[in-house]
Amino acid sequence: MNTHECIIIGSGPAGYTAAIYAARYGRKPLLFSGLLQGGQLTQTTDVDNYPGFPNGIQGEDLVQNMLAQALLFGTEVKHQMIVSVDTTDRPFKLTASDDAVYYAESVIIATGATAKYLGVTNEQKYLGMGVSACATCDGYFYRNKEVIVVGGGDTALEEAIFLANLASKVHLLVRKDHFRASAIIQDHLKGYSNVEIHYNTELEEVLGNDQFVEAAVVRDNVNNTISIMPIDGIFIAIGHTPNTEVFQSILEVDDIGYIKTIPGSTYTNVPGIFACGDVQDTKYRQAITAAGSGCMAAIDTERFLNNRAIKNGFYCVEVDSNGITVNQ
């Protein structure tokens, strides 16, 4: 049986950072990149807020640099998905999308989350050209401009507040006649006179030229009337789906499906399996925070691998009642 000390699943900033660190620890990590190599960053254009790039960098270039750095230190990359993880025995057994089976003493999950989109006409065409799912990433480009935010949950209201501090005007499109967001964020929103709330209103279509968004077709779903709103940018904030389908039967996840980690660490409830990046982050969801937690996962993994005990002829770990490795 060919057992890897560390298998990493996912190829965004979290996965690649974990790989760089694990490779530099000499663990020869095997990283499964999945089909969309590079994750969410490949869907964006300019990244201006990643430290170290004062002139900005294209999202695609940033992840290609991370990949090159991971390869440089000895990471092996396979362009496959992991379709199942069996934790009943150690080492863990992982099956890839080409049916190949791999064994791992530790697994770092960095499969990210996927922003939900509406599926309306031209939404994907203008992604990175006026349509975005991240105000923190792209809001800066809309200073003194007029934007739409779609959604009525906490994320949408937070995005609207963030944008209200930059944009001249924010139109918040809410499909119902009320918000889903918590009362405290709703209260906070009331302080922004440049946010106009459009209840019972849905985005129907994105309009633009060859390069950028110019307008939105919106529908009042009570009167069933359509209007065209000239606009500079559109932020879709209707939630994210963590990419955890494969792990939900083996790991503890929250109501939405995000992997639960022990606060301040990347430990999951299964010793030897770690989670980092957006797959366990409902709060920050930034490339730099994902990279930071990828580093944490590699450090946690290294400590775990160093602390293994040999029992009954094969590696296992000793854990306390909280699932934390204790055999220092």
Active-site annotation, residues: 134, 137-138
User: 233 in helix, strand or coil?
Assistant: strand
Member of 105, 123, 138, 154 binding ligand NDP (CB under 6 A): 154
Member of 118, 127, 250, 259 binding ligand NDP (CB under 6 A): 118
| Residue 279 binding ligand NDP, by CB under 6 A | no
| Residue 158 binding ligand NDP, by CB under 6 A | yes
* Nearest C-alpha neighbor of 50 from the set 132, 113, 140: 140
* Nearest C-alpha neighbor of 8 from the set 64, 61, 62, 85: 85
Binding mask 219-248 toward ligand NDP (x if CB under 6 A, else -) reads -------------------xx---------
The answer to whether the beta carbons of residues 302 and 308 sit under 8 Å apart is no
| Residue 155 binding ligand NDP, by CB under 6 A | yes
Give residue number: closest CB to ligand NDP: 153
Handedness of CA 211, 217, 218, 219 (dihedral sign): negative
Member of 282, 289, 292, 299 binding ligand NDP (CB under 6 A): 282
Member of 151, 242, 272, 277 binding ligand NDP (CB under 6 A): 151
* Helix (H) / strand (E) containing 227: strand 225-230
* Least distance between ligand NDP and beta carbon 137 (Å): 15
Binding mask 163-192 toward ligand NDP (x if CB under 6 A, else -) reads ------------xx---x------------
d(CA 106, CA 92): 7
Question: Number of residues in contact with ligand NDP, rule: CB under 6 A?
Answer: 16
Whichever of 204 and 214 has its CB closer to ligand NDP, that residue is 204
d(CA 84, CA 17): 23
Member of 150, 189, 259, 297 binding ligand NDP (CB under 6 A): 150
d(CA 274, CA 271): 8
* Least distance between ligand NDP and beta carbon 62 (Å): 24
| Residue 135 binding ligand NDP, by CB under 6 A | no
The answer to whether the beta carbons of residues 113 and 243 sit under 8 Å apart is yes
Tokens read off for 141: 């480009």
Where are the extended beta strands (E) located within 116-193?
131-132, 146-150, 169-173
Handedness of CA 269, 304, 266, 279 (dihedral sign): negative
Binding site for ligand NDP (CB under 6 A): 118, 150-156, 158, 175-176, 180, 202, 238-239, 282
